[in-house]
Each structure stands twice: as C-alpha cells, then as structure tokens.
A and B are shown apart, each in its own frame.
Chain A
Amino acid sequence: MSTTQIRELKRSARLQISRGMKTVLAGTIILYVASAVLAPTSVSKIAQMGMLPFAACLAIIGLGQTLVVQQGGIDLSVAGAVSLTVVIVTWGPDRHDDRLIPAVGAAFGAAIITGLINGFLVTKTKLNSIVATLGVNALLYGVMMALSGGSPRRTTDRLSHFTNNKILGLPHSLYFGIIFAVVVTILLKRTVIGRRFEAVGANPRAAHATGLKIVRYQIGAYVAAQILYCSAGVILGGVISQPTAYQGDDYVLPSVAIVVLGGTSLLGGRGFPAASALAALFLKQLDMFVLSLGVPYGVRTIVISISLMLGIALYAVNWKSTNFSFKKSDRKLQPV
C-alpha cells in the first residue's frame, strides 16, 4: 500500500499541458485544417506573412493582460499604452535612426511609470481595476496627443528592419512573439518570484497568511504588463510603416478575449501565458479565415463572439466532475 502510494505521489509530470492550452491548440489546428480546405487563400504565404506579425503583437499584449487578470484585475489601459509607445518610437525619432534607442528607452520608462500608477491606484487606493485603468488610459491618450498632435509620421528604417527582417523566411516579429511567450512562461512557472506570483493570484488571503507581501506582487503585475504592452508597441511601430495615433485601440478587447480563451479566469488564479499567446494566433487566423471566405465584417465579429462564448462556457462548466461525480457540491459551476 505505502509503496504504491509513494510511487503515485512521486508522479509529477515534467511538462504539464493545461486544459486551456489543449483547447486552444486543438482549436488552432482544426482552424488551420478548415482554413486550408475551405479557404486556401487564408493560409497562403502572403496572408500568413501579413497576419503573423500582428498575431505576435497581440500575443505579447495578451501575455501582459494575463498577468493582470491572474491577479484578479483587468487592464483597460492597453489602448493608451500601445498607442503612446507607437507614438514615442515613431514620432519621436522622426525617421532619424540615431534617435531610435533613446526613444525606445523613453517608452519603457513611461511604461514602468504607468504600471506603477495603475498598481498604486488598484492596491493602495483600492480602486476597482476597471475604473483605475480606464482613467489612466485617458491620461495616456492625453500625453500621446500632446506629443503627436494626432498626425501620423513614418517609422524609422532601423526599427522597420529590426522587426521585419527575416530569419529562415519568417519575420523577426514572429520570433519576438515566441520568445516573449517562452520567457514569460518560464519566469512564471520556474522562478521563485513567478511561483509566488501565482500563489498570490490563486488566493491573496492565503498568500498573505503565509507571510507573502501580496501588494508587491499585485503592483508588479501591472508594471510587468506595461512593459509587455510597450514591447508590443515597439514591434508594432516597426511592423506598420505608417502607424496612426490610435494604434492601440484594436487591442483592448481582443487582449481580454484571448486571456479568457486561454483558460485564465477573470476572477484571478492560475495564469496560462502560453495558451493566451496561442489564442492570439487563433483569433488572428480566425479573422483571416473568415475574411478569405469573403463574408462581411459583421459575420467575422459574430464568429469571434461565438467562439469566445464557447471557450468561456467550456471552462465555466466543470465537465469533468459532471462525468465522474454525482455529488452536488462538486458540480457547482466555477465562474470564469
């Protein structure tokens, strides 16, 4: 008895694949198969090369949103943060390559300050994260407009090369997306800070009771998220040759959608950054697929909404326990 028990206890898989990851992975594979069969143009090289850099940017933004959602918050300042970064790295250098590095540095400086403000408002003044980040978003837009006046400027060649040059036929931006997803996952799952960060998100009260300084981790989530948005903004500034001043607007709700699709609960808890990142690819390819089918924008949007609803429903209902347990308490739904 005790030997089998020890053997069983020992079982700890080296690589664990979350339910969110399985779902998104299966969804993405099915989607690509369907795309290849029903709308071959959507998997053509041109279509994919056009789509992948944006998927990578959305993925990096989604990683940041995952961190905030994992701590039970939500970050609506994505739009302002990305827009401001794009403005700083393109309007700032004004096509002068030598001014690019200071501009990128300034963008990251602004990101850290923004993250601290968000974190302070949510943890110290106890504002609801929706209200706090909504307010900060407006401030970011204010700063962005003050800098740029809202008129577009072309990106610098250096930044453009930095993001668009190709290795093995694939643009740098795609590699950045993958690298960020891997790095965030490893930091979260394999370092002391990351592990404690997850514990705080999973149950702040319990984390506090064990002596963890939970406010630091919660503020850290907002700062790290801003750094990720800023990174995505820099890449976006290179990918788009002539960006607008409102480049971030398209990323707020999708970033929340991919976090939810990836299986991270909006009530906080365990975070699944890799699944969020893959969900970004899923969402962008879904967009591409429906576009190639030639259906109008409206239908595309409805399809995305339905897939989101199914995705959430999948996690909201505890299917496993409906199969294995007839105890009523186990069947209680978990809100997502």
Chain B
Amino acid sequence: MAALQDVSLEVRAGEIHALLGENGAGKSTLMNIASGTLQRDSGSIEICGEEINSLTPHQATELGLAIVHQHPAVLPDLSIEENIRISVPDKFLQSEGSIDATMRKILDDFGFTVSIKDRVENLTIAQQHLLDLAKAFAVNPKVLILDEPTAPLGQESVEILFDRIKKIAASGTSVVYITHRLAEVRELANRVTVLRDGKWRGVKEIADISDDEIMTMIVGRELESTFPPKHGGHLSDKEFFKVHNISGGEFQNISLTANKGEIVGISGVVGNGQSQLLRAIAGLDRFSGSIEINGEPTTGKQLLNKAAYMPSDRHGEGLMMSLSVRENAAVNALNKLTSGIFVSRKKEINLVLASLQSIDVKAPSMDADVSALSGGNQQKIVMSRSLLSDPILIIADEPTQGVDVGARAEIYKILREVAESGIPVIVNSSDTKELEGLCDRVYVMSRGHIVSTLEGDEITETKMVAAAVSSTKLKTTEESQLTEKTRRRLQILRSDFLPPVVLTAMIVLLGLFIFSKNNMYFGSYNINAVLGLGTGLGFIALGQTIVLMTGGIDLSVGPASGVLLVVGSFFINDGKSLPIMIAGFILIFILAILIGVINGSLIRFANFTPVAGTLTVYIALIGIGFLLRPSPGGYFNATFTDLLLTKIGPVPNTFIILVAAAIVFEVLIRRTNWGVRLRAAGSDEESARRLGVNINRTIIGAYVASALFAAIGAIIIMGLIGLGDPAQGSSYTLQSITAVVLGGTSLLGGRGSFLGSLLGSVLMVQVLNACVFLDLSQSWQYLFQGLLIVFAAISYSLTRSGGKK
C-alpha cells in the first residue's frame, strides 16, 4: 500500500502553511520526500520555480530547505557550540561580528540562558528541541519545515517559538507547519492543507474555513477491518482495575478504570504520553499515585508480574527475535511446564501448540525463528506469550501496528475474546477508527493529560479527533529546570578536563609519597626511565583514544606496534644506507595505514563487531611478526637509537614530543571539523548521519589514525629495546586500553581526552615503578593496576551520570 498518493502541497514565499491530518495520514512521509530523506516514486519537487530531479538531504540543505524532526537531531556528548557548528555553515555565523557572538544571539533569540560551551546532554529534552529549532532558524532557510514543534515545550517557549515563526515568515521564508492542533493553526497559519489516508483532501485559506469544516476534512477514514460486537454491559465487576491520579515522566494526574469484560482505549496524537502511561501501568516505569486491582492497592513490581504488556516496539521490546516461535511463546509459562528439573518437551509443545492454534498463528514450524514471521503473526506470538502467563490484565500498545488487514481483524477478535473471558484489556492506538470499532470506553490524552472520556455511542472517530485537536493543554511543567548550582556541579563533574586534573594530582601525590620513603626516587635516572617507558605506551594510547571516541575499540594496536618494530629491524640497522633506512620508515607508515584500513573495513563493510574484527587482526599480526622474525634480532642503527634517547635534563625528548602531540590532538579534536565529526559519529551515529557526517570514512579514518600512532609507538620502542622482537607488542593492547580508561575516555564513545590518556600512561608506568622503590612484591603491581582501573572506571561512570539514574 502506498503511503502517499497524488498529494500536492504548494507553499508561497512568506507564508505559514499548516499541514493537518490524523496519525498515519502521510504528513511525515510527505515532508521526508520534500527534504530528500525518502525518494518519491512519481511526481515533482520545485523550489522557487526550479524543478529538482533527485534530492538528497545534503542537496536539500544547499537549496535552502531546513527541517526540524519530532526527534531532535542533536549529539548529546558534544557542546552546544559544536552542535551548531556541525549543522550551520560558517557563513551564517558572521552576522554579529564573531562566531561566538552570533551563536550567543541565535540562542538568546530562543530564550537560552546556558553557556554555549555546555554539553547538550546537560540540557532538558525541551531545551534540546529548542536547540534543534534554533539551528534550523539560523541558516535563514527559504523553506522551513517544522514537525509538531510544540510537543515538548512549555508555555513560555511556545510563545517565543511562535514569535520567531511569524518573524521568519515575514522576512520571506515559507514555513510548513505540521500539527494536530487547530488552535495553533488558527494562531499561525495563512493556509491549511489536509491529508487523509495518504491522499490530498484539499487546501483552504484559514480565514475562509471553520473548525468544523476542517474536522470533516480530517476524519472519515475508510473502515478497513471488521470488528467483533462490543461488550453487552453486564458490569458486575465494577472498577476491577482502578488507576487513581497517577503521574510519571510524560503524563500527569491520570485516573482511569477498566472493568472485567471491557476493552479500554487510550487515544490521542502519537507522543502525548500514552505509551509512557501504559508502561507505568504495566509496572515497567515508575509513577506516583495509586493503582488498585479489585480494591487492593498494587505496586509497580506486583503489576509487572500480574499484567501482561504487549509493547509497540515488537522487535526491540516485544520478542526475542533470534529465538524460535516455541521459545518465545513459552518463556513466561516455563514454570508450569516442568517435569522434574527439566522443561518437559511434551508439555511445552502441547501447550504452545494449543495456544498457537487457538489464535490461528501461521508459521512454518514451532522451531522457526520469530524473525521469519509476518508482523501479524509476530504480534500473535506476543499475544500467545501474554495469555500463557495467566495475566489478570492485558496492556497492548499499538497492537496492530505493521499488521496486515486480515490479521488485524483476527487480533481484534482475540482481544475481544480475552476481554469476555474476564481479563480487562487496555489498548493504546494511534488509529482512532480502530478504537472506535474496538473499545467500550476511550480516554483521549493530550500533552500528558486526559482531556476527554468517551463511552458508548460517544466513541467515534470525530469525537476523539476533536478532543485531541481542540486541546490547548500544554505540558504542566517543562521538566524541572536544573538549579544553577547543580548545573555547575554537573558541568564540572562531566567535564573532559576533570580526569587529567585528578590524574596529575595522583601522579604528584604518589611521587611525593614514594620520595618520602626513598629519596632516590626523584633521581634523574629514574625520572628518565619512567617517562621513557611511558612514552611508547603514551603514543599507542593516543591512537586508542581516537578509536574509543568513535565508540569502537582497537585490540590490534599492540601486535601492530610489534610487527612494525620487526619490519623496522630489517631496514634501520648499522651499515644500511640512509635511503634504505628512510624507505624502512616509509614502509612502516604505509603498513600502518594498511592495518588501519583492514580494521576499519572489517568493521564497517564486513560487519564485524570492533572486538571481533580487531581480534582477528591481532592474531594475524602476531603471526606475521613471528613469521618475519621467529626470534629477536636485527639491532637498530645505534645513531638512530641514541637520537631517540636524547634528553633535556632528565626528560626524554620523545616524551616532550608526546606531550606536544597530546596537546595538538586535544586542540584538533575540539577545534576542527574532523574532531567534531569523529565525536559526532561516536556520540550518536544516527543523528550524525542525518547531520551529514560520512560515518564510514570517519570511523575507518580513526582506525588508520590509531595504527599510525602504533607505528610511532613502535619507533619509540626501538630506542627502548634496541632490536626487533616480535613478542614485544602484544602487552600494549590491554595496557593502552587501561591507560585510556584511566584518562577518562568513555568506552561508549563521543568523548575523551588525549591529555588524560597521556597522564594515564604515565600513572600506569609510575605505579609499576613505585613497587620497585617501595620494595613491594610484584603482586602489588597487579593489585594497584586492578584497583586503579576499577575505581577510575566506577568513579567516572558515577560522576557522568551525576547521581541521577
């Protein structure tokens, strides 16, 4: 079935054009085609009279088209400034003189008080939406598309937004405003286009049309399914399930009841708290207020066991997609199916078969993976599982989403039978027609509140849509704003610079402590030894940092440096001519690039996980190293190794280069587009892709950079050990990961600090060295290492979450 058929939308310059329609009417599809995210099958797109043949999101942006989706395309690990820079070209950031001042202005216009250096994750959801809006307004687009922009906003922000929309339209921009709310249409729009069932219903001047006329254009979907007869009305078990005044993250003061024999519907525009309400009732999310079953107060934990929840996200939350039909259906009933300590095959097959037959599941066999079934049959498996768990209440979120017409009717029939058997059913659906046909009572929600309760003959599509579109309710609170004090505390705790400061303090304190026990410690020989050892590890750790920032991991760095060390040992020897030695260095770096490309390609193109991909390369590199040089040999050119060991005072020159490299990369990662893209890819791949980051190139580039740093590490190791030894590299893999973790870089990607990795490397070597000076046994070396990793990782993970769950 086509999502859109023969739809036209024409927007004049300087006009605010509202696009109206029910859930699934095709509004978002139309806008995705207009912005290049989806491709049309037929028809044409014109901007300023110019016909555009094929449109990509990038082209659309070039042509002056900006779109703000319902889910903000922001990168949580990056600062506000970086989020703006990645999507707003520099030419739009000059108006106030400097880029910083312009950004400040952009944010001030939307009522932001926070600093542009603040991380986006520290913003509330509403502020993240505002940021996304601010970015779209900042490029001064010819066409601006806004998809339900007021959904997460409070009163104050809505006023600012409306004001801005009016201003930008007055300056000549065409605005397409997608909404479900007539009040907003009245306030803003010049004209309105209505869609229904993917078809064009008409376009009207706002001034010439009444609310009722608009309503008639919106409603009236064709009935596709047949519904079982409704509940007769023997309401003997009044108020079997009673929800009294509950509130949660996305909904406030909800009261509802579901009686035995009833199907209760939750209606409303998608994203107005319906799903969250269902999750709370199912015991999955927290809520305040009381829920009673049969007069007994019931807690969330009890609800989790008593109620069966059928989620709308079947793949993510409903089914174990890699398991079979039988395993999925039986998972909640296993306790009933045992004989002795084992699950009885016979009992299981009989029970599951009976259940599947009773609801007419079509599957090749019970052993088929559920992923091989159609949407309708998958949903029936979820139902079968729910029923086999003997629930006292069934909660179904969008039970017919992605289900074909035939299976829909069957699902309605099953739900009705379940209800008749005495298990109340609560259904949330974006399809008002479905609720009209199915339900005995319907609650309509808007912005987290129940705005209307419909019963009996009142349950009609028109009434439900009317209640939703005429609602002017806003979210009661726009999430409590963080106080200035907690925000500042969070900002410090989550800063990339906290770990380096803490590490420096630890290094100094540890140094002083050892010095107090052994005054040889600050001798120049020892300082030189510690920093020298730390340098090789440090370079490898810098490379590892880059990969971790993309959310990957490079296990191959250790053996890579080992192999490159061995390769060097064939060229860079005493008695070799200078050109041969130079060729040796060039070869080392070419091979490093090759290793990086292989790692990256396995991950991006052959779909290996980072661990699996770099692990195979790890093993292969060890093999190659031993193949080239089965035992240590090939002494390096003495002039060259002497050069590596030169120092200023006690500090090796190579260490100074390492520090310089760490500082340079610290700046690059923050100030350049490369750095922002890298962190964007690690922070949120999907958003980064939408913002135009080439993910494959960025991530493969990161693995290449990592291998190049391993090559530099190999060169440093040349000076330390003086000959080619294939066994030297491997231990650097885990050491580098440890050093980077100590330095505060998150394995989740998106953020990190090169200075931290550098200091982490130094601390690692220092701890090992400390045991020698303190005359502690080798076991302390391990214990200190282990404790350092665990405590560093725990404290970073705690400070990041800032104490909140």
Indicate whether A and B interact.
yes
Known A199-B323, A300-B623: A267·B793 in contact at CB below 8 Å: no
Query: Is the CB–CB distance between A312 and B616 below 8 Å?
Result: yes
- Flag the segment in B13-21, B50-58, B314-322, B453-461 that touches A: B314-322
25 inter-chain pairs at a CB distance below 8 angstroms, sorted by A residue, are A9-B366, A10-B349, A10-B365, A11-B365, A12-B345, A14-B345, A16-B367, A127-B797, A134-B734, A138-B785, A138-B789, A146-B783, A186-B342, A192-B338, A195-B334, A207-B320, A270-B323, A296-B626, A296-B630, A298-B623, A301-B623, A304-B619, A305-B616, A305-B617, A308-B616
A142 within 8 A of B: yes
Query: Is the CB–CB distance between B623 and A9 below 8 Å?
Result: no
Query: Is the CB–CB distance between A208 and B284 below 8 Å?
Result: yes
Alpha-carbon distance between A334 and B793 when the two chains are bound, in angstroms: 30
A128 within 8 A of B: yes
Q: A289-304: contact bitstring with B at CB < 8 Å (1 yes, 0 no)?
A: 0000000111111111
Query: Is the CB–CB distance between B357 and A6 below 8 Å?
Result: yes
Query: Is the CB–CB distance between B607 and A334 below 8 Å?
Result: yes
A333 within 8 A of B: yes
Query: Is the CB–CB distance between A316 and B365 below 8 Å?
Result: no
Alpha-carbon distance between A191 and B334 when the two chains are bound, in angstroms: 9
In angstroms, how far is the closest chain B Cβ from the Cβ of A13? 6
- Flag the segment in B86-94, B672-680, B774-782 that touches A: B774-782
Query: Is the CB–CB distance between A192 and B326 below 8 Å?
Result: no
Residues of A close to B625: CB separation below 8 A: 298
B737 within 8 A of A: yes
Query: Is the CB–CB distance between A136 and B790 below 8 Å?
Result: yes
Residues of A close to B617: CB separation below 8 A: 305
Residues of B close to A269: CB separation below 8 A: 322
Query: Is the CB–CB distance between A298 and B361 below 8 Å?
Result: no
Query: Is the CB–CB distance between B365 and A8 below 8 Å?
Result: yes
B624 within 8 A of A: yes
Alpha-carbon distance between A32 and B346 when the two chains are bound, in angstroms: 38
Residues 329-356 of B at the A interface (beta carbon under 8 Å): 330-332, 334-335, 338, 341-343, 345, 349, 353, 356
Query: Is the CB–CB distance between A266 and B630 below 8 Å?
Result: no
Query: Is the CB–CB distance between A266 and B626 below 8 Å?
Result: no
B627 within 8 A of A: yes
Residues of A close to B470: CB separation below 8 A: none
Residues of B within 8 A of A (CB): 282-284, 304-305, 309, 311, 316-323, 326-327, 330-332, 334-335, 338, 341-343, 345, 349, 353, 356-357, 361-367, 385, 389, 553, 602, 606-609, 611-612, 615-620, 622-628, 630, 726, 734, 737-738, 741, 747-748, 777-790, 793-794, 797-798
Alpha-carbon distance between A23 and B309 when the two chains are bound, in angstroms: 38
Q: Is the interface of B mostly helix, strand, loop or mixed?
A: helix
A190 within 8 A of B: yes
Known A12-B365, A266-B609, A297-B630: A146·B349 in contact at CB below 8 Å: no
Alpha-carbon distance between A94 and B777 when the two chains are bound, in angstroms: 21
Known A135-B786, A299-B627: A306·B747 in contact at CB below 8 Å: no
A168 within 8 A of B: no
Residue from the set A6, A135, A267 with the largest chain B CB neighbour count within 10 Å? A135
Known A12-B366, A297-B630; 5 more pairs at CB < 8 Å = A132-B790, A142-B782, A267-B609, A296-B627, A305-B623
Residues 318-336 of A at the B interface (beta carbon under 8 Å): 333-336
Known A134-B737, A210-B385: A336·B793 in contact at CB below 8 Å: no
- Output the nearest chain B residue to A316 by Cβ-Cβ distance: B607
Query: Is the CB–CB distance between A145 and B779 below 8 Å?
Result: yes
- Flag the segment in A99-107, A176-184, A253-261 that touches B: A253-261
In angstroms, how far is the closest chain B Cβ from the Cβ of A297? 5
Q: A125-146: contact bitstring with B at CB < 8 Å (1 yes, 0 no)?
A: 1111011101111111111111
8 tightest Cβ-Cβ pairs between the two chains A and B: A298-B627, A301-B623, A138-B786, A142-B783, A145-B779, A135-B789, A139-B786, A142-B782
User: Quick one: which of A138, A149, A203, A299 contacts B782, CB cutoff 8 A?
Assistant: A138
A313 within 8 A of B: yes
In angstroms, how far is the closest chain A Cβ from the Cβ of B334? 4
Query: Is the CB–CB distance between A253 and B619 below 8 Å?
Result: yes
Residues of A close to B284: CB separation below 8 A: 208-209
Q: A183-209: contact bitstring with B at CB < 8 Å (1 yes, 0 no)?
A: 000100011100110110011011111
In angstroms, how far is the closest chain A Cβ from the Cβ of B655? 25
Query: Is the CB–CB distance between A127 and B793 below 8 Å?
Result: yes
Query: Is the CB–CB distance between A257 and B615 below 8 Å?
Result: yes
- Output the nearest chain B residue to A211 by Cβ-Cβ distance: B304
Residues of A close to B362: CB separation below 8 A: 5
Residues of A close to B318: CB separation below 8 A: 206, 209
Alpha-carbon distance between A25 and B662 when the two chains are bound, in angstroms: 49
In angstroms, how far is the closest chain B Cβ from the Cβ of A255? 11
Alpha-carbon distance between A269 and B781 when the two chains are bound, in angstroms: 37
Residue from the set A298, A316, A317 with the largest chain B CB neighbour count within 10 Å? A298
Residues of B close to A13: CB separation below 8 A: 367
Known A308-B616, A308-B619: A196·B367 in contact at CB below 8 Å: no
Alpha-carbon distance between A313 and B624 when the two chains are bound, in angstroms: 21
Residues of B close to A196: CB separation below 8 A: 331, 334
Query: Is the CB–CB distance between A145 and B343 below 8 Å?
Result: no
In angstroms, how far is the closest chain A Cβ from the Cβ of B783? 3
Residues of B close to A125: CB separation below 8 A: 793-794, 797-798
Alpha-carbon distance between A14 and B264 when the two chains are bound, in angstroms: 42
User: Quick one: which of A6, A209, A266 contacts B612, CB cutoff 8 A?
Assistant: A266
Query: Is the CB–CB distance between A190 and B364 below 8 Å?
Result: no
Alpha-carbon distance between A269 and B321 when the two chains are bound, in angstroms: 9
Alpha-carbon distance between A146 and B771 when the two chains are bound, in angstroms: 13
Alpha-carbon distance between A257 and B737 when the two chains are bound, in angstroms: 20
Query: Is the CB–CB distance between A202 and B365 below 8 Å?
Result: no
Alpha-carbon distance between A190 and B320 when the two chains are bound, in angstroms: 18
Alpha-carbon distance between A312 and B780 when the two chains are bound, in angstroms: 39
Residues 215-255 of A at the B interface (beta carbon under 8 Å): 253
User: Quick one: which of B305, B326, B345, B793 contacts A135, CB cutoff 8 A?
Assistant: B793
Residues 17-70 of A at the B interface (beta carbon under 8 Å): none
Alpha-carbon distance between A269 and B726 when the two chains are bound, in angstroms: 37
Alpha-carbon distance between A63 and B150 when the two chains are bound, in angstroms: 53
Query: Is the CB–CB distance between A302 and B789 below 8 Å?
Result: no
